[in-house]
Amino acid sequence: MLRMFNNKTIEMFKILVDCSSIRDCPSGVGFYTYNLIKGLKALENETNYSFNIYRQPSVSHWLINNNHLPDTLKDISDLQFLPFPVTVSNFLGKSAGLFVPQHDRFWQDVDIIHGTDHYVYPFTYGKKVMTIHDLTFLKYPFYSSKIVKSYTDRIKKCLQWTDLIITFAQSTKQDIIDYFGVKKDKIAITSEASRYDSNYLEDKNIEIIKNKINYDFTQPYILFVSTIEPRKNIINLVKAFNLVKKKYCINHHLILIGQKGWNYETIFAEIENSEFHNDIHHLGYLSDEEVAVCYHLTDVFVYPSFYEGFGLPVLEAMTLGAPVITSNTSSLPEVAQEAAIYINPDDYTSIADSIYQIISQPDLREELIIKGKKRSQLYSWNRVAQETIEAYQLIL
């Protein structure tokens, strides 16, 4: 495809990004995909790329002809949308090539097809790119649901036709090499970015937002934000909270923000058994601005996860001025570098001591806030889009 660019006729490359993971309230993979598409579309006029999207509805949606875009994507102008007849992932473990001949005619001028959720479909035309967010389901299968474990077979199948893998950290790249035997030059690393920027709260009325949240903000608190599931190591966080309350007699509460995930019951049992359970608050799902206020006002943000492919909550906390304690594992040191205190996630006593270290030393707390804000400025969705384009160029 050719078009005029800076008064010259140049070859245009057509990119199709799978937006199937995006829902009306995107999170996780859907959040990444939405912001990637938005970032790529914003760069379209500055590059020789044309960015459009396709979506694979579930079987139930396909049967009632519900192939419409989610409302979330309607704020991105000039998006061309190609619906696909049925969820491709349903067939990846079976006969993935069954539907290719019928639909390839719609894709003949595509240069790159980018699957953003651990799979990409094997169309005849175009280079195939697959984003792998992390390998939790392989490294820590006991922290994963059966559905997530099915990703293993899906990825193995897709590797037969994938030309490039995108992931978000050197540690995850090494995991992919170790577990799947992929050559290192077939994997590109791009960054991720926060849903917030450093000025997010400047035009917000913090007092009004605080009043919407079911918490008494006159009480100081320690904060955790993410899905309530075993991999996030919340049980050790609760144990650390118990210890720091006993050992140092602090008056802080513990706030947990996040939806209930897989096997959350064991975590709530641990909370219920805590002698300080009245000081532990699960606020569930909050709006973006409510979460932002909680980040901004906390005395310390603790993210003791066992394993992450990137660790967005750490970046969000740094962006909004929270001092960070996080694990010395997987991608987390890559994200925060010198802007956090690191703990062994298996050792709840080190978590407790680090919490007290920050809340008892105002100078250290302020130093971490300054370093965190500086570090967070390196990440943006514009950068993610630019790095993704550079990754595409590796195979064109």
Q: Which of 303, 376, 308 is nearest to 338 (CA)?
A: 376
Residue 8 banded pLDDT, cuts 50, 70, 90 = very low
Low-confidence winner among 225-229, 259-263, 336-340 (lowest mean pLDDT): 259-263
Residue 103 banded pLDDT, cuts 50, 70, 90 = low
Q: What DSSP designation does 340 have? A: S
Q: Is the pLDDT of residue 114 over 70?
A: yes
Q: Is the pLDDT of residue 70 over 70?
A: no
Q: Span 239-258, mean pLDDT?
A: 97
- How far apart, in whole angstroms, are the C-alpha atoms of residue 152 and residue 23? 24
Q: Between these two residues, 46 and 158, which has the higher pLDDT value?
A: 158
pLDDT tens-digit map of 220-232: 999 999 999 999 9
- How far apart, in whole angstroms, are the C-alpha atoms of residue 192 and residue 311? 9
Residue 199 banded pLDDT, cuts 50, 70, 90 = very high
* Cβ-contact 381, 35 below 8 angstroms: yes
Cα atoms in the 13 Å half-sphere on the side-chain side of 190: 27
Task: Please tell me the predicted confidence (pLDDT) of residue 284.
Answer: 82
CATH of domain 206-376: 3.40.50.2000
Using alpha carbons, list the distances in angstroms from residue 187 to 132, 177, 296, 383, 388. Answer: 10, 9, 36, 18, 12
Q: Which of 292, 284, 328 is nearest to 313 (CA)?
A: 292
Helices 234-248 and 265-273 cross at an angle (nearest 10°) of 10
Q: Is the pLDDT of residue 87 over 60?
A: no
Q: Which of 178, 181, 132, 124 is nearest to 154 (CA)?
A: 132
H/E stretch holding 369: helix 362-376
Q: Is the dihedral of CA 146, 36, 16, 388 positive or negative?
A: negative
pLDDT tens-digit map of 359-394: 999 999 999 999 999 999 999 999 999 999 999 999
Structural fold of domain 2-193+380-393: Rossmann fold (3.40.50)
- How far apart, in whole angstroms, are the C-alpha atoms of residue 351 and residue 304? 8
Q: Do domains 2-193+380-393 and 206-376 have the same CATH topology?
A: yes
Q: Is the pLDDT of residue 9 over 50?
A: no
Q: What DSSP designation does 260 have? A: B
Q: Is the pLDDT of residue 24 over 70?
A: no
Residue located via tokens 């994507």: 73
Residue 69 banded pLDDT, cuts 50, 70, 90 = low
Average pLDDT across the chain, whole number: 87
pTM: predicted TM-score of the whole model, two decimal places? 0.87
* Cβ-contact 204, 212 below 8 angstroms: no
Q: Which of 134, 237, 241, 235 is nearest to 189 (CA)?
A: 134
Residues 6+ apart with CB under 8 A from 311: 303, 305, 326, 330, 331, 332, 335, 336
Q: Span 188-198, mean pLDDT?
A: 95
323 is written with which tokens?
Answer: 């001092």
Residue located via tokens 């979330």: 72
Q: What DSSP designation does 396 have? A: -
- How far apart, in whole angstroms, are the C-alpha atoms of residue 274 and residue 150? 35
- Annotated domain spans of the chain: 2-193+380-393, 206-376
- How far apart, in whole angstroms, are the C-alpha atoms of residue 296 and residue 32? 23
Task: Please tell me the predicted confidence (pLDDT) of residue 309.
Answer: 93
Q: Is 268 exposed, middle or buried (0-12, 13-18, 19+ CB in 10 A)?
A: middle
Using alpha carbons, list the distances in angstroms from residue 382 to 185, 205, 339. Answer: 24, 27, 22
Residue located via tokens 């917030």: 196
Task: Please tell me the predicted confidence (pLDDT) of residue 78.
Answer: 65
Highest average pLDDT, of 22-26, 52-56, 353-357, comes from: 353-357
Q: Which residues pair with 122 in a beta bridge?
A: none
Task: Please tell me the predicted confidence (pLDDT) of residue 4.
Answer: 47
Q: Is 234 exposed, middle or buried (0-12, 13-18, 19+ CB in 10 A)?
A: buried
What stretches of the chain adopt beta strand conformation (E)?
2-5, 8-11, 13-18, 49-55, 81-83, 112-115, 127-131, 164-167, 187-189, 221-225, 253-257, 280-284, 300-303, 324-327, 341-343
Question: Whole-angstrom distance between the N-terminal and C-terminal Cα of the chain?
Answer: 14
Instruction: Count the Cβ atoms, other than its own, within 10 Å of residue 4.
Output: 9
pLDDT tens-digit map of 117-167: 998 988 778 899 999 999 988 887 776 666 666 788 889 999 999 999 999
Residue located via tokens 């799947």: 180
Q: Span 189-196, mean pLDDT?
A: 95
* Cβ-contact 16, 52 below 8 angstroms: yes
